Chains A and B, each alone.
Chain A
Amino acid sequence: GAGVSQSPRYKVAKRGQDVALRCDPISGHVSLFWYQQALGQGPEFLTYFQNEAQLDKSGLPSDRFFAERPEGSVSTLKIQRTQQEDSAVYLCASSPAPSNEQFFGPGTRLTVL
């Protein structure tokens, strides 16, 4: 069956540009997570959705980061006025319930020049 998919896989942005990263979770999965993974580091939590409700956004590094999941399935992570320190792999994960195993997508590698 289809796993978690993310698009684009790679994104190069000029500093100051806005970007939008898409996540298609596994069908029927209630929970959706966004993580940021810098080179040589483990993933760091950004935000969490249960269906369409954003229950935790404590990991978003600044107000330039915004995430939504309006219909409880596809999610978009938007970064406004990108900066070089935003360069990282952005991972999306979904799970059928809040406390189950998380299934990760392949990530979007964002490079800000």
Chain B
Amino acid sequence: GQNIDQPTEMTATEGAIVQINCTYQTSGFNGLFWYQQHAGEAPTFLSYNVLDGLEEKGRFSSFLSRSKGYSYLLLKELQMKDSASYLCAVRDQDQAGTALIFGKGTTLSVSS
């Protein structure tokens, strides 16, 4: 079966660093995505990993270990506007080859 797990909620304070973990079990693997979704808005793309290792993009970094079925999203220098849901998604090559399988999302609350 297909399963993507991530924590339901996390809290952090402004200026801090937070790591959101994601583990997956899918029948195929062709890349892992992180999306940010503010309440009532569209998911927006944050990062993409297909090879093992760390991808850094400004305040956001994403890590992938394919052998462990594990990824994390690292957010540095947190700002209030980072309060949102963070969605981990896997592109499963066996399912249409292109559709994304999403986790339930992690709601991050950043306080001052």
Interface residue ranges, A against B (CB under 8 Å) = 3-4, 31, 33, 35, 40-45, 48, 55-56, 58-59, 91, 95, 98-99, 101-107
Contact = CB atoms under 8 A, between A and B. Distances in A.
Interface in B24-79: 30-31, 33, 35, 41-45, 48
B73 to A, nearest CB: 14
A88 B90 CA distance: 22
Contacts of A31: 98
Interface of B: 4, 30-31, 33, 35, 41-45, 48, 87, 89, 91, 95-105
A101 B96 contact: no
B87 A101 contact: no
A42 B104 contact: yes
A93 B44 CA distance: 11
A59 B104 contact: no
A55 B57 CA distance: 34
A104 B42 contact: yes
A84 to B, nearest CB: 21
Contacts of B103: 42
B87 A59 contact: no
Given A40-B104, A42-B104, A104 B43 contact: yes
A102 B87 CA distance: 13
Contact of B101 (A45, A91, A102): A45
Contacts of A48: 96, 98-99
A45 B104 CA distance: 13
B41 A56 contact: no
A51 B102 CA distance: 24
A107 to B, nearest CB: 6
A90 to B, nearest CB: 12
Contacts of A91: 42-43
